[in-house]
Chains A and B, each alone.
Chain A
Amino acid sequence: MRSRKGSTLLALLALLALAMVAVGCGGDEGDTGDGGDTGDGGGKVIIGAVLGMTGDAAPGDVPASEAMEYAVDEINKAGGIDGKQVELIIKDMKSDPALASTVTQELLDAGAQVIVGPAFPGMGAGAVSTAAKENVTVLSACSTQPEYTVVGGTKAYLVAFGDNVQAAAAAEYALEQGYKTAYTLTSPDLSYTERLPEFFTAAFENGGGKTIGNDTFTIGQQDFAAQVTKIASLDPAPDVVYTGMFPPDTAVFVRQLRAAGVESALYGADGCDQQPLIDQAGKDADGIVFSTHGYPTPGSRFEEFVAGLEEFQGKPPEAPALATTGGDVIDVIKAAVEKAGSTDPAAIGDAVAQLQDVEVVNGTITYAGTNGVPQKTVAIVEIEDGQFVFKDQFIPSFIPEP
């Protein structure tokens, strides 16, 4: 009786070992079928995307991945990059930092010459350090957090602007409106909501403005009465309230702010670039100004890209601005491969570092002379009569250190 149980146990363990090896071999077979070793072989450009298709990174990475597929499809239809077809391999890292390095290694094994990393620096670290071992460069499509460029121990690249850049753009635009005083709201929950106001203040005060107060909030907070009361009691009222808050919080906050009779302008960042904000805040949304990646001005590449994407996937993109960052990253890779004149990973990496004025979906990108956070145009949008209205698009003249 006892020994039978024992042998069942042993058999089970043996089976496990066997299954483990089988899974490993299965993975290997698939990989070799895809593309051989890394380097300048195969006559293909292979882009590996290690993305959070599920989990915390999904809201950014899923729209970006769809746009990447569309952009690659367009390039291949037009004859590829320097005559080479582009292969895009997207793998889900489930927003798991430990899985990121494993998945990245799989992509490298599959011959990836450049890697697109997930939305958050903590998740991207493993991808960057793993890719660095084979001299492969990592770019994140939709992250805006500058620490992404250093988190993996090797230089990595943002494709979107950094939060320091978009906050500086918002500050510059506010100064242009003649605003002199600002009040900021931060949340320690994300470096996004925490650092945007810091960058804004740095740029705003550099341009002669003054931040007269700061308060904190929690993401997902149901009631902003405490924060609103403080702002309403300020005399004189600040010209502008700046925060990295995003919907649905922004909608709740702005309603309470206006109900308390505060007339100050409300400025936010790219998290506000979504239709639900207008739906939820109604008339109180009017007057909100935010920085974002781009805007579908008539005849713009943005408009054209989003229309093409809609046709490609048979439905309108849920978050167009985030999706366009997926188009941007493919444009950057295309420019780098063309500049390098090869698909050697190291050559592509060197080329990325030297890119200047690359035309992308959202304006232009320059990496030359930067630490990996691109100089990129920032669009400023204001909500007027329940509509997103394009106001300006520029690279801020002063950018605070990340």
Chain B
Amino acid sequence: MSGLPEQGETLAGRGAGLVPAAGAARASACAAEERRVQRRELLVAFGGSVGLFVIVAAIALGYATLGGSQRNTAIVLLMNMVLVIGLQIFSGNSGVLSLAHVSFAGIAAYISAILSAPTLVKGTTIPDAPFGLAGVELPAPLAMIVAVVVTTLIAAVIGLAIARLSGISATIVTLALMLVVFAVLTNWKSLTGGAEAFYGIPVTTNVWWGLGAVFVALVVARLFKASRLGLRVQSTREDEVAASSSGVQVVRSRFWSWVLSSAVCAMGGVLIAHFLGAISPSGFYFTLLFLTLAMLVLGGEYGVTGAVVGTVLMTIVSEATRYLGDGPVVFGVDIPPLAGLSQLVQGAIIIVVMIWRPSGLLGDRELDGLLSRRLLRGTRSAGGRVAAASMETAAADAIVTGEAAAGATATGEAVPETPAATATAEAVPETPAGPGAAAAPAADAAPAAAALSVRGASMQFAGLAALDDASLEVHSGQVVGLIGPNGAGKTTLLNVISGLYAPTAGEMTLNGVSLNGLRPYQIARLGIARTFQTTRLFRELTVRQNLEVAASVARGHRPQAARSAAEILSQFGFEEIADTKAGVLPYGVQREVEVARAVALGPGILLLDEPAAGLNDAESMELVSAVRGIRDREGCGVLLIDHDLHFVMALCEYIYVLDAGRIICRGVPEEVQRDPLVVAAYLGTRGGEAPATAPTMPALGEA
């Protein structure tokens, strides 16, 4: 606690140089509050992993005391658990199924084995080992540490490539990786001794080593899942496009989960090597892969608790069926031996569970889900002061924010006041701030005049021109509409602005900073947030987590605009659904959450893709005031697409009309409504018959 104010001050000091005082205060208060919240979350997660560990330890130790063979089984259980938890860190969080993790266990096992086996044995097994390894004999614990470190480095190098891939292509690459590692272990005979067993490894693994490794694995995996980085990885699992548009650097976050996960699997691998005393490449191949995958999938790959429960459950099934399969006498009944019974039962269980509960027995539930409620309740009654204090801070935050918002609105009002102002503003981009103007200086140069400018954007899809020399501008505090018939290129333009598409031609700037060539996450971090035509929420994450993904990015990259997820939750009235998974919410609420997520990014420009789609008239009008409210509070510019002309005319201060990729008309709503080209584009014209009088557009919108 004592360190917190200091950090807050430092950050405030740093912010003061860049942004107006109100923003800085808001940023520091927000950061401090968030740090408190996150610390509490991590504490709860840590408590959960300790609780889980105590249960695992009780099971393992209890079972181990029953006898020698039970002790062996307990050790195998713990080793497998380390592997499964390691696999969970990557596959569970990123959603990318990895088949290569047993290979990292294998690499680590071999490194540790080769380093620690007696030189006497290596003289006969691998006398010609490269790097003079035949003459090296490290103590087992040191060899294990070296093995984990080296394996992690190898995994990191491979991860540079794998993190760039997603979905099935990533899985296929991990499959290839597994085959390559197997081939190397088998064929690099001078180092590994080849296909047959490498023996002479000091046997040091016991229940205590296993428990120690499980503890480390549990804490690492659970804290990672609860961390902001872990949350970002999970957001990429749920929706890569939405994640990157929320400022998440998909490749980097995935990379770190890969590295961490490989390190934990390496730890499992060295334990196996020093348990068996003799290892062969086939020990880290399909059989182990299927076993660990089955354990993870059975318990639920999204959660650490699921990984633990899956491992324990599968081990119980395996032991019980093995016992029955050997043909014991149970209650006087002589059961005939049945080879293969355990594989049969394990397979059947996997099939049943996958059909009955596709996300595993536990899904993403964690033990601390229960513990945290108890814990928080306890804090509230016993340590009421802490809670009260944090609530005071939140209130203070709200006040500061309010002031800041008021200030922003006050300064912002001057700019979009009249259509004329917008018209004259056309001259502004002619004198851009220059290519040297970086993001941070731009922010303190003119925080209130954040302007998005698109000039001459063209987008060709295999010869089809979706956008043709389209230009538009959005100013801070201005709500701009982009309308046009289906297929006019509206969403394409939004995708170009948010970096999902690289335009074939055109210039885009935000506050004079070029957006050309930037990736979606970079554009998001500069302050352009967006929603999607069909909602793209992180469905398996809670509403709070959805907001937190964007809010954490804002804290890291736009501290002056950042606000806490809690603040956004209350702003949108989401307190009741804060801990509900976004995917189960009604459609309308999902759309609101998506807007809230975009707002959580603290945007300078907010892009809304058909926000009114599927809403009735009353709801649309509510949305009008909602969007205005956001604009007023955030002081941001809004660019929105919609078919509902009534809605657009009511909301927007300036409108661009796009048809067949070209901007055919622009102006204030009244002008646009009367433009014959617009009417033609919406109604279609026959021959040269141009509409003499302008029909009333709102009526069209309702049609």
Give A275-315 as 1s and 0s: 1 = Cβ < 8 Å from B's Cβ atoms: 00000000000000000000000000000000000000000
Q: Which B296-342 residues have a C-beta within 8 angstroms of A?
A: 305, 309, 312-313, 315-316, 319-320, 322-323, 325-326, 328-330, 337, 339-340, 342
Min distance, Cβ B312 to any Cβ of chain A, angstroms: 5
Partner of B320, one of A23, A53, A105: A23
Min distance, Cβ A201 to any Cβ of chain B, angstroms: 17
B330 proximity list for chain A (CB < 8 A): 26
Min distance, Cβ B497 to any Cβ of chain A, angstroms: 40
Partner of A153, one of B186, B277, B373: B277
Is the CB of A387 closer than 8 A to any CB of chain B? no
* CB-based nearest B residue for A133: B68
Question: A98 and B76: CB pair below 8 A?
Answer: yes
- Asked whether A23 and B319 contact (CB < 8 A) given A3-B370, A17-B59, A129-B277, the answer is yes
B373 proximity list for chain A (CB < 8 A): 2-3, 6
Min distance, Cβ A280 to any Cβ of chain B, angstroms: 25
Min distance, Cβ B124 to any Cβ of chain A, angstroms: 8
Partner of B68, one of A13, A99, A105, A191: A105
Measured between alpha carbons, how far is A16 from B56 in the docked complex, in Å? Answer: 10
Give A126-145 as 1s and 0s: 1 = Cβ < 8 Å from B's Cβ atoms: 10011000000000000001
Question: B68 and A109: CB pair below 8 A?
Answer: yes
Is the CB of B62 closer than 8 A to any CB of chain A? yes
Partner of B305, one of A7, A9, A33, A188: A9
* CB-based nearest A residue for B278: A125
Question: B199 and A54: CB pair below 8 A?
Answer: no
Q: Which of A92, A103, A108, A129 has the most CB of B within 10 A?
A: A92
Is the CB of A271 closer than 8 A to any CB of chain B? no
Min distance, Cβ B285 to any Cβ of chain A, angstroms: 11
* CB-based nearest B residue for A101: B72
* CB-based nearest A residue for B124: A150
Measured between alpha carbons, how far is A31 from B326 in the docked complex, in Å? Answer: 12
Is the CB of A341 closer than 8 A to any CB of chain B? no
* CB-based nearest B residue for A30: B328
* CB-based nearest A residue for B79: A98
A31 proximity list for chain B (CB < 8 A): 67
Is the CB of A152 closer than 8 A to any CB of chain B? yes
Measured between alpha carbons, how far is A90 from B315 in the docked complex, in Å? Answer: 21
A129 proximity list for chain B (CB < 8 A): 203, 277
Q: Which of B55, B72, B361 has the most CB of A within 10 A?
A: B72
Is the CB of B194 closer than 8 A to any CB of chain A? yes
Partner of B278, one of A26, A92, A126: A126
* CB-based nearest A residue for B312: A16
Question: A145 and B196: CB pair below 8 A?
Answer: yes
- Asked whether A152 and B199 contact (CB < 8 A) given A16-B59, A17-B59, the answer is yes
* CB-based nearest B residue for A192: B196
Min distance, Cβ B121 to any Cβ of chain A, angstroms: 8
Is the CB of A259 closer than 8 A to any CB of chain B? no
Is the CB of B37 closer than 8 A to any CB of chain A? no
Is the CB of B242 closer than 8 A to any CB of chain A? no
Partner of A23, one of B67, B200, B323: B323
Partner of A6, one of B187, B340, B342, B369: B369
Measured between alpha carbons, how far is A317 from B599 in the docked complex, in Å? Answer: 76
Measured between alpha carbons, how far is A135 from B643 in the docked complex, in Å? Answer: 84
Partner of A53, one of B63, B66, B339, B361: B339
B367 proximity list for chain A (CB < 8 A): 9-10, 13
B62 proximity list for chain A (CB < 8 A): 17, 20-21
- Asked whether A9 and B272 contact (CB < 8 A) given A2-B373, A153-B277, A190-B196, the answer is no
* CB-based nearest B residue for A4: B370
Q: Which A79-137 residues have a C-beta within 8 angstroms of B?
A: 90-92, 94, 96-99, 101-103, 105-106, 108-109, 120-122, 125-126, 129-130
Measured between alpha carbons, how far is A59 from B380 in the docked complex, in Å? Answer: 66
Is the CB of A77 closer than 8 A to any CB of chain B? no
Question: A20 and B72: CB pair below 8 A?
Answer: no
* CB-based nearest A residue for B363: A5
A10 proximity list for chain B (CB < 8 A): 367, 370
Is the CB of B365 closer than 8 A to any CB of chain A? yes
* CB-based nearest A residue for B342: A94
Measured between alpha carbons, how far is A108 from B71 in the docked complex, in Å? Answer: 13
Question: A27 and B309: CB pair below 8 A?
Answer: no
Question: A24 and B59: CB pair below 8 A?
Answer: no
Is the CB of A147 closer than 8 A to any CB of chain B? yes
B328 proximity list for chain A (CB < 8 A): 30
Measured between alpha carbons, how far is A103 from B79 in the docked complex, in Å? Answer: 17
Question: B67 and A16: CB pair below 8 A?
Answer: no
Question: B370 and A9: CB pair below 8 A?
Answer: yes
Measured between alpha carbons, how far is A53 from B276 in the docked complex, in Å? Answer: 20
B189 proximity list for chain A (CB < 8 A): 188
- Asked whether A5 and B365 contact (CB < 8 A) given A28-B66, A97-B280, A153-B277, the answer is yes
Q: Which B197-231 residues have a C-beta within 8 angstroms of A?
A: 197, 199-200, 203
Is the CB of A189 closer than 8 A to any CB of chain B? yes
A20 proximity list for chain B (CB < 8 A): 59, 62-63, 312, 315-316
Min distance, Cβ A205 to any Cβ of chain B, angstroms: 21
B186 proximity list for chain A (CB < 8 A): 188-189
Min distance, Cβ B426 to any Cβ of chain A, angstroms: 55
Q: Which B544-566 residues have a C-beta within 8 angstroms of A?
A: none
Question: A91 and B309: CB pair below 8 A?
Answer: no
A26 proximity list for chain B (CB < 8 A): 320, 323, 330
Measured between alpha carbons, how far is A191 from B194 in the docked complex, in Å? Answer: 8
Give A45-70 as 1s and 0s: 1 = Cβ < 8 Å from B's Cβ atoms: 00000000111100000000000000
Is the CB of B375 closer than 8 A to any CB of chain A? no
Measured between alpha carbons, how far is A232 from B383 in the docked complex, in Å? Answer: 89
Is the CB of A194 closer than 8 A to any CB of chain B? yes
B196 proximity list for chain A (CB < 8 A): 120-122, 145, 147, 190-191
Question: B370 and A105: CB pair below 8 A?
Answer: no
Is the CB of B283 closer than 8 A to any CB of chain A? yes
Question: B197 and A151: CB pair below 8 A?
Answer: yes
Partner of A188, one of B71, B187, B275, B326: B187
Is the CB of A225 closer than 8 A to any CB of chain B? no
Measured between alpha carbons, how far is A358 from B328 in the docked complex, in Å? Answer: 34
Question: A151 and B278: CB pair below 8 A?
Answer: yes
Q: Which B357-396 residues have a C-beta within 8 angstroms of A?
A: 361-362, 365, 367, 369-370, 373
| A interface residues with partner B (beta carbon < 8 Å) | 2-3, 5-7, 9-10, 12-13, 16-17, 19-21, 23-28, 30-31, 33, 53-56, 90-92, 94, 96-99, 101-103, 105-106, 108-109, 120-122, 125-126, 129-130, 145, 147, 150-153, 188-191, 194
Q: Sample 27 A-B pairs with CB under 8 A, ordered by A number.
A: A5-B365, A6-B370, A9-B370, A16-B316, A20-B63, A21-B66, A23-B320, A26-B323, A27-B69, A28-B66, A28-B67, A54-B340, A90-B337, A97-B280, A101-B72, A101-B276, A105-B72, A109-B67, A120-B197, A122-B278, A122-B280, A126-B278, A147-B196, A153-B199, A153-B277, A188-B187, A191-B194
| B interface residues with partner A (beta carbon < 8 Å) | 55, 58-59, 62-63, 66-73, 76, 79, 121, 186-187, 189, 194-197, 199-200, 203, 272, 275-280, 282-283, 287, 305, 309, 312-313, 315-316, 319-320, 322-323, 325-326, 328-330, 337, 339-340, 342-343, 361-362, 365, 367, 369-370, 373, 579
Question: Apart from A3-B370, A23-B320, A152-B277, what 15 extra A-B contacts exist at CB < 8 Å?
Answer: A5-B369, A9-B367, A17-B55, A17-B59, A19-B316, A21-B62, A94-B342, A97-B278, A97-B279, A105-B69, A121-B197, A121-B199, A125-B199, A129-B203, A151-B199
